Amino acid sequence: MSLARDVELGLVAGEGAAVDADGTLLVRASVSGTVSALMVDQGAYAGSGGVIATIDRTGSLFATASFILSPRDFARIEDGASVDLRLPDGREITGTIADLSVSTIEGAAHVDVRVDSDALVESDPTGLMRPGTPLEATMHLRDDGVLAGVSDALDDLARRVGL
């Protein structure tokens, strides 16, 4: 009742908001998507300017993966590198690296990547493609050729002996 009165007085307003006859406030989201979290329980007070719900925007699914690489392997990551994602049911989809961040810990590159793929769709009938689904990721690095390992080992040896 007080909500209906506040709306009538103009104290509560919102684009796309309406109060039903039973006093329920209907708020329309500004984007298409799926509600992934509710921050206010039914019948509870929602404060002014507070977050009521979190919406995962339609078409915004992506995967995140973490890798630990040697500095040499980190240098083999190419822009837009391909990543194979394996779903819990064994299906594989392919994506590309959209963004990455790296930190060095004990000489190793700890790399976190964001993988985008058109195959990640929320309308998947199995329900496996939604936020929080565990995945296995395989990142494809630049192929430096069959002699790359031998050449790298000789370079490392030359550096150690001071050449």
Calpha distance 131→25 (Å, rounded): 28
10 Å CB burial of residue 113 (0-12, 13-18, 19+) is buried
The answer to whether 26 and 79 have CB atoms below 8 angstroms apart is no
Average pLDDT along the chain: 80
* 18 pLDDT tier (thresholds 50, 70, 90): low
The pLDDT assigned to 137 comes to 94
* pLDDT tens digits along 109-122: 999 999 988 887 76
Calpha distance 77→64 (Å, rounded): 16
Greater pLDDT, 99 or 129: 99
Task: List the one residue out of 83, 84, 68, 63 whose CA is nearest residue 134.
Answer: 63
* 4 pLDDT tier (thresholds 50, 70, 90): low
* pLDDT tens digits along 70-110: 888 898 899 899 999 998 889 899 999 999 999 999 988 99
The pLDDT assigned to 112 comes to 95
Mean pLDDT score, 42-59: 75
The answer to whether 101 and 112 have CB atoms below 8 angstroms apart is yes
In sequence order, which residues have a C-beta less than 8 Å from that of residue 9 and are 6 or more positions away? none
For CA atoms 75, 143, 134, 37, give the dihedral sign: positive
All structural domains of the chain, each given as residue ranges with its CATH number in brackets, are: 2-57 (no CATH), 63-147 (2.40.30)
Calpha distance 23→27 (Å, rounded): 13
Phi, psi of 25 (to 5 degrees): -90, 125
Calpha distance 163→151 (Å, rounded): 15
pTM metric for this prediction = 0.56
